[in-house]
Each structure stands twice: as structure tokens, then as C-alpha cells.
Amino acid sequence: MAVRWSRWIDHLPIWVALGAALSTGIYEPGESGVMTLPLLAAAAVELSRRDLGRYQRWLEIGALLFFLADLARGQGVFPVAIHTLFVLAGVRLALPREAPHRRQLVLMGFLLLLTTTVSTTDPLFLAWAVAWLVAAAWALLQLSWETSALLKRGALSRPPYARVPLWAGAALLIGSGFFLVMPRLQAGLRPAFLGTSGAFGRAGLGDQVDLGLGGPIEANPEVALRIVPPPGVAPEALRGLQLLPGVTLETVQGQRWLPSDLTPPLRLSRRPGPSVQTEFLFTRSSHGILALPYGLATLAPPGLPIRRGEGGSLRWMFPRARTMPMLITWNPQESAPIESRLPPRRLELLTTLGPEHEAARRWSLRLAPGILPVPELARTLERGLRGFRYTLDNPSGQAANPLEDFLDRTQAGHCEYFASAMALMLRARGVPARVVNGYQLGPWIPEGGYFRVSQDQAHSWVEYWDEGRWQRADPTPIASAGSGSLVPSLGTVSRWLDALRYRWDRYVVRYSDQDQQAGLTWIQGRLQGWEWRWKTPPAPLSWGVGVLVTAWVAWRTRGYWRPVPAGPGRIRALRPLLARVYRIAPPKTGDTARTWLMRLGDLRPERLASLLQLADAVDSDAYGQGSDAASPLAKAEAAAWRGWKAERPTSR
């Protein structure tokens, strides 16, 4: 049975590596198909037991042509290498395999697992890594057992599969020890060659607004950031974080809002007043936009790899692979950015309205007729739009003029429609206005002690100019009820899982040299402050216990330190067998190797043929006519005697 299924064991490391790669979600559906199809084809060949050895050259030529075609697509060398590795693994699994080929498959699986290691930090990957470790250990153990089984005679013993979990556990234990003591490297780089799965049609923060994308918006529960209040600060103190701006969009082109080069860069607030320091934990994203609170005063630690982007945004200099913590100091009294003046060119940009926006002009007069002060005009338009219906179905997305269809026909859409409509309505009345993309504050997670902001909380709202400063307005109906509720919107299990991911990120992914030093300091303090509360036992009792322990250890290890017996014990090749049967039939004084082996044959007649072959090999080696053949035979014979006990040893 073990031999029958051994061919399938070779498939396990590659399939587990494939599962780990697909679990990250970084590959496009086409790429996932390219990686999966060769393994499915190889499994079909294995199931049908077909021999494709005569087609090996053609399969190798096909793999080469695939490599060249994939390289010609211009997607980069590393994605091509990953795709080609899966294709080569499928070809190797479909062909007849010898021991070197089976070891190559384990190596291919290891290389493919490494590509997943550098692309994810999710705790789910730990389960995949353990599964791959077990699969690789199983495959290598099967290969080693088959090699040794060929040297045995008689009935085959069962493969020692019980060792697989022991080996995997030992590897995890050793790896954990190295993880705790090895120097930490916090590069935080995410290889760009791995690619990302398409985010088209999914909820999430973007650096533009396009009303003509069409199709419904798919939910996206991926975590964007977590906000941790400082110790001793109640969650209610962070109510000022209800909206977190990321990028400002001031240029409108038809149905699209884009960042403008005229938007001034983000300036840190110097306004006097109370400030709050909060930890922001940003997860990786394709755009690298940092959603930060209004009234931002300081960013810590200094020297963060941040650059100033378009639309007054702050972005990472390079894509992130790990969660990046920041200490943000912000002023809760500021609800919008402060600017002293608007230059004429920028004022013209902020009041631009195209002919395709005529519906916004009409609805502006319909919802707020007459001449109104700017604050009252904004509130009136905001109330009017909140009478529309919020939906992610995007019923106007495929219309020729989505904004006009939204206002005149459906009166239903997502936040980008509401923000775009209100900004254009204000511009139609001569009020400078713009759209802001960012996040709403997500739910409070009491199990972890933080606010969770997911991509589903991505939001668009309006900022308009009045009396020398920007004011904020949010016409989207779903936002009128507020966000960041302290009543968790996630289920209990979901909250616990998210808290687990947070702790995994904090204590494993972001484990640093400071954590190492803190841990060593804690251990040192515990040892220094530890008091021995037991009385010292009497000296005779201590000596007695020591003597008994020493005697027990000496008795249990007597086989290692006692002198090697004469005769067969002098032959190095026979020592593994001698260690197995020493208690059953030790060599007697004057025994030769053949005499002793024949005595073992009397104990187990079914092993007599193998023992005779071993005796011939020992004699050949002793007289210089052999080629070290006795050593593997003796090891195989020792394995055959494992666990065997004689009822009554006899002598020849």
C-alpha cells in the first residue's frame, strides 16, 4: 500500500505550495489557471497510469515555448519564473520519476513557497507553511524508506510515518527559537514582481473618481488600517476621526475627478489647542495613500519613507509588505484644511463646470432656489441629496451621462455620485468645491482595543470654500447616521479573528530588535527578583538523590561506554546490528562474525538467508575482496530486528 500511493506523495509539496500562493489573492485569475492546469494534467496522468516517457522531449519543448511566450508578454522575469516553475513541476509529475527527480520536486515546492513567503503576512500562511513542511517531510521520508527497503529481504516493514509530525514539530520549534534570537531585518519591502489581483469594481480607496465605470461595486473587507487609542484614553475621545482624508480631487473632466498639480501639499497644523496622539497601523495597498486625520500636527517616528503626492496626499515611497505603525498627533478641533487664499488660476479650476454637467446646474436651483449664503446653500443641497437612495448596485454606471442619469432617473448610487453631484452643484452657484477621497472610521473592536478600518469604509465627500477656509459636507445618506460606532458591526467570531490577526501582526510580523531587548530585560528582571522560597534539603538527602540519579543514568547508557566486545564487536559494520540484539544474543568469547550471525539465524529462521548474505559480505570485506557491501546490509538487518524480543535466548 505504501508503495502504491508513493507516487501521489510526490504531488503533495507542489499542491500545498499552490494552495499557499492562491490564498494570498495576489494573482490574477488567468495566472491562477496557468499555475493550476499543469498540476491537474499531471494528476490525470497519474490517475490513468499512463507512461509519457516517450513524449518527454516534446513536453520539454512545450515548456520552453511557454516560457518564451510568457516572457514576450513583458510582465517581468519573476512572474514568468513562477509560472514556469509550476509548468515544469507539472511536466515532471507527468513523466516517470526516479529518486533525483522526486527530490527536485520537493525543491521546486520550496522555491514556490518562498515566493509566497515574501508576499503575505497573514497568519493563515503559517498553516500553509506547516502543511508544506509536513508534505515535504512525508515525501522525503517515503523516498528514504523505499531506498532502504530495496536492501532488505523478506516482508517489508511499514514506513515510519509517525516520525513526520515529530520532524515537523522539531523544525517549528527550532525555527521559533531562531525567530526569537536572530537579529531582526525590517526592510518592509514588497516585491513589485509578484503582481496584484485586479481591484476593478471592488470597494476601496482610489486616487480618482470615475462615474462611468459601470457595474455594481463589490464588497471588500480587507483591512486598510487599525487605529489604537493611547493607554488610558477612551474610544469616545477619537470621535474626531470620523472622516480620514487621503487625496483631494480638484480637476473634473467629464465624469472623472482627478488630482491637480495646483493643489498645495499637505501642511502640518500649528494651531494651538488640545492634541491627541494615536497609533495608526497602515496595511499594504497598491496606491500607498496614507489616510490621515484633519488637524495633523506631527508624524513619528522621524525618517519615515514618505513622499508628497498629487492632490495634497502623502504616500509611501515604495509598496509596503508589512503593517507600518505611526504615531499621529492631531488637533480634534480642526475639521478641514486651512488655506489663507486661493490664487486666481486655482479659483478658476475650482469653479469649472462643463456642458455635460448641466443636470447639476438644474438640480442646484431645484433643491436650493434663490440667493442663499454659502453655508445655508451647502446645508440645503446636502439635505436634498440625502433624500436619494444609497446603493452599491451602481444603476447609472453604464449610462451615456452617469451623473445626469443619477439625478434625473435613478436617484440612487454610491458615495462618489453624491459627492460629485454636490461639488458640481456648488460650482454651478460660483462656490469653489472639490471631492475628497478617504475613509470613514470603522467599528470598534473591544477584543483587540482598536478601531478597524476596512476598504469597505472607503468614502468620498465634499469640501467647499467659504470665508477664507475650507468647510466639509457629506451628502451621502449612509453617512448621515455617523460612523465609528462603538457597537461592533462584526460578529463575535469575526472580531476575535481580526484581533488574532492584529496580535499576529504586532508580535510576529513586527517583532523587532526592541522587542527582543524588552523580552530579555523582562527575563533578567524576573530572575533577579526571584526568591527561593523552599528550604535547602539536608546534605545527606541531596547526596543520596545525586548518587541515585547518576547510577540510573550510567545503567541506562551502559551500551555507550562499556568496552566493545571481542569478535564481531570489532567489526564497525556490525555495530548497528550488535546494538539491536545485544540483550538477546550477545557475542560469546571466541565467536567469529559468522558464528554469531548463525546464532541469530537460530533465533529468527526467517532471517537466516539475509544473515548468511551479511556473513559473506563481512568475510569479503575482511579479506579485501569486497566493496563496503557489509555496511548497508548490516543497517538493513538492524532495522529488521527493531522491536523484536526473544522469549528465551538459545545458544548454538
Q: pLDDT tens-digit profile of 242-290?
A: 899 999 999 999 999 999 999 998 888 777 777 888 889 888 777 889 9
Per residue in 396-429, pLDDT (tens digit) is 988 999 999 999 999 999 999 999 999 999 999 9
- DSSP annotation of 450: E
Percent above pLDDT 70 for the chain: 82
Predicted pLDDT of residue 76:
75
Q: How far apart are CA 68 and CA 42, in angstroms?
A: 22
Q: How far apart are CA 89 and CA 35, in angstroms?
A: 10
CA 632 to chain centre: 44
CB 315 within 8 A of CB 287: yes
| 357 pLDDT more than 90 | yes
Percent above pLDDT 90 for the chain: 30
| 485 pLDDT more than 70 | no
CB 406 within 8 A of CB 421: yes
Strands 306-308 and 296-300: unpaired
**Closest residue by Cα to residue 363 from 286, 429, 457, 268:** 429
Per residue in 3-23, pLDDT (tens digit) is 556 778 889 999 999 998 888
Range in 167-176, 216-225, 294-303, 528-537 with the lowest mean pLDDT: 528-537
Locate 105 and state its grid cell. Answer: 520536486
Q: How confident is the model at residue 345 (pLDDT cuts 50, 70, 90)?
A: very high
| 446 pLDDT more than 80 | yes
Between the alpha carbon of residue 644 and those of residues 151, 159, 555, the distances in Å are 19, 17, 22
Residues 6 or more apart from 334 whose CB is under 8 A from it?
269, 271, 294, 295
Residues 6 or more apart from 391 whose CB is under 8 A from it?
412, 413, 414
Per residue in 89-145, pLDDT (tens digit) is 999 999 988 888 888 999 999 999 888 776 676 777 788 888 999 999 888 888 887
Q: How far apart are CA 329 and CA 540, in angstroms?
A: 66
Predicted pLDDT of residue 183:
59
Q: How far apart are CA 370 and CA 615, in angstroms?
A: 113
Average pLDDT over residues 142-152: 73
HSE-CB of 277 using CA atoms within 13 angstroms: 10
| 190 pLDDT more than 60 | no
**Closest residue by Cα to residue 142 from 40, 4, 337:** 4
* Average pLDDT of every residue of the chain: 82
Q: What are the sequence ranges of the domains in the chain?
A: 2-192, 209-507, 559-640
Alpha helices in 463-574 (DSSP H): 492-504, 513-528, 539-556, 558-561
| 484 pLDDT more than 50 | no
Q: How confident is the model at residue 551 (pLDDT cuts 50, 70, 90)?
A: confident
- DSSP annotation of 257: E
Q: How far apart are CA 258 and CA 251, in angstroms?
A: 5
Q: What are phi and psi of 407, to 5 degrees?
A: -80, -40
Angle, CA 520 vertex, CA 496 and CA 514 arms, to 5°: 65
Average pLDDT over residues 26-53: 89
Query: Can you tell me which residue has the cell 469640501?
Result: 463
CB 434 within 8 A of CB 286: no
Locate 609 and state its grid cell. Answer: 538467508
